Amino acid sequence: MRLRSEGCAISALHTLGLAVVAVPVVAGGATQLARTSRAVDTVAAIGALASAGVGVALVLATLLRLDEPLRTGVVTVDAASAVFLVPIIVVGAASALLSPPYLNDSKRSFFPAAQARRLYYLAFFWFWAALLAVPIAGNLGEAWLFVEATTAASAMLVAYSGGRHALEAGWKYLVLTTAGLTVALTGIVIVYVAAPAKHHNLGGLDWTTLSATSHDVPHRTALAAFVLIIVGLAAKIGWAPVHNWLPDAHSEAPPPVSALLSAALLPAVVLVVWRTTRALDPAVGTATTHHLLIGFGLLSLAVAVPFLWRPLAFKRLLAYSSLEHMGVIALGIGFGSRLALAGVVLHVVGHALAKALGFYASIPLLRLQPRSISRPVRGLARLDPRVAAALAISLVSLSGLPPSPLFFSELFVLLGGFVSGSTVAASLAAGLLALGFLGLVHALIEAMAGRSTAGPRVRIPTRQIAPVTIVFLIGLVALAAGAIAVPHSSLVEALSRWAG
Amino acid sequence: MTVIAWACVGCALAVVFVRRRSTAIGFVTLQSLLLAAAAFARAPSRSPEFLVASGALLLKALAVGALLVWSVRRTREPHPIVNDVSPIIRLSLALVVAFVAAATVPGFDSGAPSAEHAAIALVAIGITITALRHATLLQALGLLVAENGVATIATAARGGVPLLIELGAVFDLMIIVAIATAFHSRIFGEFGSGDATALRGLRD
């Protein structure tokens, strides 16, 4: 009887895993059937809610079975999937629902005018579907295919506005990330070919099989393949020094797409790196894999911090903040202690909420201060309190000011670093994070109280941002309130067991 | 396989050197066709899946070549795109990068050690083409050359590569090239040229 119910549970989890990808694909197709702009928006909203519903069901089902994760060759649903699915689901749904205000304002597009709105949603939903597939991919090859699919689906979204800068950003994103992913594929094929012959089928790239057999791959070959895979994927994550596309794409993409890029895409690819690290640890050596991640983390922080001190356009500031925060996640995974992993869990979700809110605030901001597309925001508190509140909550959270959940997550990551014996790296990271904090606080003060250069005040309806701000604020407060309990949670327990 | 792999490296070096986009497309198409031919030649001793993968390589060679030629015809450059790095220096750099990459990556027991070096050299030359060439279409060709390097490993290796990965990579690549040509057309329309040096407006 127990076996039968166990079989049903596994089958349900497997079906949910497939449905979470299929529903947004169908939703994207359905938007092509609608005739008017309003109808397209309605179909997109229904599709977004349906996709989010299936996603939430999958996360809940996963959390209920933390001790018995599903790991087939096709689908992997475990504690790590649950953590990384949350931002993709939340930010994907919010971005779909908040796209109409942006689309109503946009005057030109990469796509032909008559189909621009429909094609936007088609690319958006397929991008979202590919993103949802990444954390549950059952093997390394499949994960690579889905990451590559995110590039195909999102490049034209980055260039959606069709302007010169948007084309530049979209082209850089397409070329640099594809080049990186080709390097990663080279590493994947090398690992596959070098593995024992009995594993020469798709199953040979299963996360579990790879972990069990990688010690048979000669050390030097495994190391070369590992470096190729991680450096290639780093180009997609935007870790320094292969981050050149990131500030341009984040600043030029439509804000709902920027939110999805920063809050969902980057962490999703980090999970592929993490799983690869786990799988190749036996061949490469834990110390080497962890040192590489810590190196990427510190370098990303060191490159991001000087830019956080410069007077940048708001979306560009958020982009460099993404570089900083992906560095923190790399450090957490590299340190590897339970406390650091708790920090990673909190950071992935907290960063997603705070960053997405910042990008959503930029939709009305660009109407209030059109020059903020290329110049720093100034004097927003006097100009529009609603937009100012959204922007302030985002920047306060991203800076790590207590009681932001990112304060706790960064604290956990740093303490986790000291616990794991990485004293020098943790100390350096603490110094860089303190500098980054000061830079963002300075930007916040200027944005709120600085002298406005916006010219005469214009009346623009900004009411829509208020409910979004409240919802995201509740999420951030809840996360901060529960932060202390995270290191002792069964989720982090399961994650530490998996991460070894 | 070894001869074909090194012939592919020769085609890649030609793409580093030549000025005309159509000539470069010709070399990359030839490279892709050579790989497809090598795959078909090995298919009788392999699984039926390998035959399907060989067909996919042939389809990619023809479809991508046709798409790129069509794109060049639609976007005639008013003036040749001038590259500030001379062809000889580009070629020398590509050779150095290819040599270093092939020497650095250790053998991985594919059964064709020389083809392994050629494959790694192809990936390195492809990335170098993308970095050094200024025409947007030539940058896209660099990605194709690098992907052909991966296809060389997949073709040379004893057991091949799983069909799903092979087909998925070919399909993804075709979509990426289609998107790259769409970008090229829009860039040409906006800037009056497919010169990537015009894409330098975003700086901090």
A233-259 pLDDT per residue, tens? 999 999 999 999 999 999 999 999 999
- Minimal CA separation from A187 to chain B, in Å: 9
| Whether residue A93 has pLDDT greater than 60 | yes
pLDDT band at B110 (very low <50, low <70, confident <90, very high): confident
| Whether residue A1 has pLDDT greater than 60 | no
A189 vs B106: CB contact, 8 Å cut-off? no
Quick one: average pLDDT of A266-291?
96
Give the distance between the most distant pair of CA atoms in chain B: 56
> Residue B147 is nearest to which of A174, A175, A182, comparing CB atoms?
A182
Q: What is the reported pLDDT for A198?
A: 67
Report which of residues B93 and B85 the model is more confident about.
Answer: B93
A141 vs B164: CB contact, 8 Å cut-off? yes
Q: What is the reported pLDDT for B47?
A: 84
> Minimum mean pLDDT among A67-76, A345-354, B126-135, B158-167: which range?
B158-167
Asked if A210 is an interface residue toward chain B (Cβ–Cβ < 8 A), one would say no
> Residue B161 is nearest to which of A152, A192, A194, comparing CB atoms?
A192
User: Could you tell me if A122 and A129 are in contact, meaning their C-beta atoms sit under 8 angstroms apart?
Assistant: no
> Residue B162 is nearest to which of A168, A202, A228, comparing CB atoms?
A202
Give chain A positions within 8 Å (CB) of B179: 152, 155-156, 174
Give chain A positions within 8 Å (CB) of B169: 145, 148, 185
Asked if A75 is an interface residue toward chain B (Cβ–Cβ < 8 A), one would say no
> Residue A179 is nearest to which of B146, B162, B201, comparing CB atoms?
B146
Quick one: average pLDDT of A61-88?
92
**How much is the pTM?**
0.95
pLDDT band at B132 (very low <50, low <70, confident <90, very high): very high
Q: What whole-number distance in Å separates Cα of residue A461 and Cα of residue A17?
A: 40
B176 vs A148: CB contact, 8 Å cut-off? yes
Q: What is the reported pLDDT for A277?
A: 96
Q: Residue B38: in which H helix or E strand, if any?
A: helix B21-42
Q: At what angle do helices A219-237 and A140-158 cross, to 10 degrees?
A: 20
A-B interface: how many C-beta pairs under 8 angstroms? 146
Kindly give, in sequence order, each residue whose CB lies less than 8 Å from that of residue A124, ignoring residues fewer than 6 positions away.
Answer: A28, A44, A95, A96, A99, A157, A256, A257, A260
- Minimal CA separation from B185 to chain A, in Å: 11
Please state the ipTM of this predicted complex.
Answer: 0.96
Asked if A220 is an interface residue toward chain B (Cβ–Cβ < 8 A), one would say yes
pLDDT band at A57 (very low <50, low <70, confident <90, very high): very high
- Minimal CA separation from A202 to chain B, in Å: 5
> Measured between alpha carbons, how far is residue A395 from residues A306, A442, B178 in Å?
17, 10, 39
Q: What is the reported pLDDT for A462?
A: 74
- Minimal CA separation from A320 to chain B, in Å: 11
B162 vs A224: CB contact, 8 Å cut-off? no
DSSP B193: S
- Minimal CA separation from A148 to chain B, in Å: 7
Tokens of A376: 């720093």
> Minimum mean pLDDT among A131-140, A291-300, A441-450: which range?
A441-450
Give chain B positions within 8 Å (CB) of A189: 150, 153-154, 157, 161, 165
Give chain B positions within 8 Å (CB) of A218: 106, 109
Q: What is the reported pLDDT for A440?
A: 96
- Minimal CA separation from B113 to chain A, in Å: 12
pLDDT band at A453 (very low <50, low <70, confident <90, very high): low
Query: Which residue do the tokens 């989890």 mark?
Result: A13
Which ranges in B75-162 belong to alpha helices (H)? 87-104, 113-132, 136-156
| Whether residue A184 has pLDDT greater than 60 | yes
B183 vs A189: CB contact, 8 Å cut-off? no
> Minimum mean pLDDT among A130-139, A196-205, B84-93, B184-193: which range?
A196-205
> Residue B183 is nearest to which of A165, A167, A186, comparing CB atoms?
A167
Kindly give, in sequence order, each residue whose CB lies less than 8 Å from that of residue B116, ignoring residues fewer than 6 positions away.
Answer: B105, B107, B108, B110, B153, B156
Quick one: average pLDDT of A262-281?
97
Quick one: average pLDDT of A339-366?
96
SS3 B203: coil
Quick one: average pLDDT of A286-311?
96
User: Could you tell me if A140 and A188 are in contact, meaning their C-beta atoms sit under 8 angstroms apart?
Assistant: yes
B108 vs A151: CB contact, 8 Å cut-off? no
B162 vs A174: CB contact, 8 Å cut-off? no
Give chain A positions within 8 Å (CB) of B110: 193
| Whether residue A3 has pLDDT greater than 90 | no
| Whether residue A476 has pLDDT greater than 60 | yes
Give chain B positions within 8 Å (CB) of A221: 106-109
Total count of residues recorded for chain B:
204
B196 vs A171: CB contact, 8 Å cut-off? yes
Closest residue in A to B195 (Cα–Cα): A168
Q: What is the reported pLDDT for A458?
A: 63
Q: At what angle do helices B113-132 and A164-194 cross, to 10 degrees?
A: 170
Q: How far is CA A297 from the centre of its chain?
A: 15
Q: How far is CA B127 from the centre of its chain?
A: 9
Quick one: average pLDDT of A377-388?
90
B161 vs A204: CB contact, 8 Å cut-off? no
Kindly give, in sequence order, each residue whose CB lies less than 8 Å from that of residue A310, ignoring residues fewer than 6 positions away.
Answer: B204
Quick one: average pLDDT of A126-130?
98
SS3 B195: strand
Q: What whole-number distance in Å separates Cα of residue A208 and Cα of residue B146?
A: 29
pLDDT band at A451 (very low <50, low <70, confident <90, very high): confident
Q: What whole-number distance in Å separates Cα of residue A87 and Cα of residue A355?
A: 11
Q: What whole-number distance in Å separates Cα of residue B155 and Cα of residue A327?
A: 37
Closest residue in A to B116 (Cα–Cα): A190
Beta bridge partners of A70: A77
Q: What is the pLDDT of residues B29-81, one digit of tens each?
A: 999 999 999 999 998 888 888 899 999 999 999 999 999 999 999 999 888 88
Q: Residue B54: in which H helix or E strand, if any?
A: helix B48-74
Report which of residues A7 and A151 the model is more confident about.
Answer: A151
SS3 B135: strand
Q: What is the reported pLDDT for B201?
A: 79
Is A5 exposed, middle or buried, given 0-12, 13-18 or 19+ CB atoms closer than 10 A?
exposed
A167 vs B190: CB contact, 8 Å cut-off? yes
Q: What whole-number distance in Å separates Cα of residue A309 and Cα of residue A194?
A: 47
A192 vs B162: CB contact, 8 Å cut-off? yes
